[in-house]
Structure 1
């Protein structure tokens, strides 16, 4: 579990102008993360526009990341859904070679009760050959995993090692940190409150902005983990305006605009997502120029 303390990055999927997956750009992005101090990489999460990828494309992306990473950083693979049996089948049948853990989102759209969420993750835990990090993002799933349920999962599903907590509620996050066992990882899924969560006892972040400013953001988290509050907050306030910008029109439109400005990827998304508006792109580009 030590491997997942610090900054993980939820990788985007770069596309070419013809909307095919841009593997060279993906490899360039992975290399940039490795060179700039990120602790681990998350592949095929929501930020990767995974809902619009074919199974063949997913396999191509997994292969490219594994080859480029070459064992340097731990890798986390996104496998989740709102059909428990389908998630279980994917966990049992997928080629997980090269990966170190699974990130699995709470069932979306169905709006299960807390009991339903618990039973879902009990099945996921039993099926997964790798450690599992659960993902709570009520803004996307329409249901919230309460701290008491996270603690119940932590106590009864020993293969579940942590939670990516993205409710955007620092009070809920603190309650979660207080309830769960000491060795259970409460990881921020919200870039803006990553530092206060870390200072409150969290174990870092799975970040979107981290891939835009990997050195500075991962340094901020490391300072927070060491309790070097003043220095950590200097970096937080330097980066914070960009967090508002990249999420202003949804994810990953903003971070793709930022990475395009940095020359790492092309600014292309697949429908139903669209690229950032010209006004927002200009603000992001100005921020990068003055960072």
Structure 2
């Protein structure tokens, strides 16, 4: 099993969907196949995020998903790869317990979202929001990434002051910002890339982050090039479930372009146009549509079913996915 010291890299990471069989049990064979496929493409593996339907899984199933992902990596030549797992629960105590179990199952890093059930109360109590994350970070056996996704947290949205405060915690290594606010990420990145911050936290970051950088990651690949310009360190993109090579190509080309290669920058801008389109289609298609895209383009059964209350994929979404993503899939296959 990979040691917990495996460091999280800059670049593209993908929050995998969790494939279910028709009876809604976890399809571990399909999950393992997708983990290996994405690892071969060179992207980071994220399990039990929003795309992974973590809130639909029991504690035992969460353990099984992480264990399956870790074994797939270890058995296929990727034992040195870190594994980021979503461990958010309905309370700080529950989240800490899930994180402890995630480490036992083979996760090396945790990503935590604020519970949204009591947003009508705690959403107004900003001190309680910050206190939740601090308590989790205090007691987590894994380095913690903040997951800021208002859409999945009943509208609770961390601002840059709160993110900067939390970034100073000795067990925080990054933030995923699925709030589509690049300026917020730039303020956070400017703080965490400052000389003063690195003097205090640099040694810790070198142990948990491969580049020695605090990870600032947008949750959408549609804005990757402008995000990189704004000091972000990569992105976590659900669209990478279907197009991991395209995402890697965009990232590496954009880095060359932003380093001064004008030809690469022009290529990256054209590719960003493609990714912005495909990312939006995947967002509209939702989890069910993403799973259908995997089944249709990659391998039947790789996406599988979603769990209720997520219903079956609609005919309109099937048509949109199969027609509107066809060209992007052909490009993916060319890489």
TM-score normalised to the size of structure 1? 0.91
| Alignment correspondent of 1:87 | 95
| Alignment correspondent of 1:65 | 69
| Alignment correspondent of 1:236 | 272
- Kept in 1: contact 2:242–2:298 (CA 8 A): no
Q: Secondary structure at 1:3's aligned position in 2?
A: coil
What value does the CA root-mean-square deviation take over the aligned residues? 2.0
Sort the Cα spacing of 1:153 and 1:241 in 2 relative to 1 into closer, same or farther, 3 A.
Answer: same
The Cα shift of 1:194 comes to 2.5
Distance 2:166 2:104 in 1: 23
Q: Secondary structure at 1:46's aligned position in 2?
A: coil
- Kept in 2: contact 1:147–1:179 (CA 8 A): no
Q: Which moved more, 1:91-100 or 1:240-249?
A: 91-100
Q: Secondary structure at 1:104's aligned position in 2?
A: strand
1:145 aligns with 2:175: no
Distance 1:47 1:216 in 2: 19
1:280 aligns with 2:317: yes
Q: How does 1:127-146 map to 2 (within 5 A)?
A: 127-141=139-153, 142-146=155-159
Sort the Cα spacing of 1:60 and 1:93 in 2 relative to 1 into closer, same or farther, 3 A.
Answer: closer
- Flag structure 1 segments of 5+ consecutive residues without an equivalent: none
Distance 1:255 1:23 in 2: 18
Distance 1:208 1:94 in 2: 21
- Kept in 1: contact 2:18–2:303 (CA 8 A): no
Q: How does 1:150-161 map to 2 (within 5 A)?
A: 150-155=163-168, 157-161=169-173
- Kept in 1: contact 2:182–2:230 (CA 8 A): no
Equivalent residues, number: 288
The Cα shift of 1:273 comes to 0.6
| 1:86-142 per-position Cα deviation (integer Å, ceiling 9, x unaligned) | 222333455435322110112323233332122111111111111110100011211
1:114 aligns with 2:126: yes
| Alignment correspondent of 2:292 | 257
1:34 aligns with 2:35: no
Structure having the higher Rg: 2
The Cα shift of 1:184 comes to 2.1
Sort the Cα spacing of 1:181 and 1:107 in 2 relative to 1 into closer, same or farther, 3 A.
Answer: farther
Distance 1:100 1:94 in 2: 8
Distance 1:20 1:87 in 2: 23
Sort the Cα spacing of 1:97 and 1:20 in 2 relative to 1 into closer, same or farther, 3 A.
Answer: closer
Distance 1:232 1:282 in 2: 29
Q: How does 1:138-287 map to 2 (within 5 A)?
A: 138-141=150-153, 142-155=155-168, 157-182=169-194, 183-226=213-256, 227=258, 228-250=264-286, 252-264=287-299, 265-287=302-324
User: 104, 121, 125: which one pairs with 2:112?
Assistant: 104
Distance 2:321 2:249 in 1: 22
| 1:165-196 per-position Cα deviation (integer Å, ceiling 9, x unaligned) | 11112232223323334432211112322221
Q: Which moved more, 1:224-233 or 1:268-277?
A: 224-233
- Kept in 1: contact 2:66–2:105 (CA 8 A): no
The Cα shift of 1:267 comes to 4.2
Distance 2:250 2:83 in 1: 21
Sort the Cα spacing of 1:72 and 1:215 in 2 relative to 1 into closer, same or farther, 3 A.
Answer: farther
Q: Which moved more, 1:104-113 or 1:18-27?
A: 104-113
Q: Secondary structure at 1:163's aligned position in 2?
A: strand
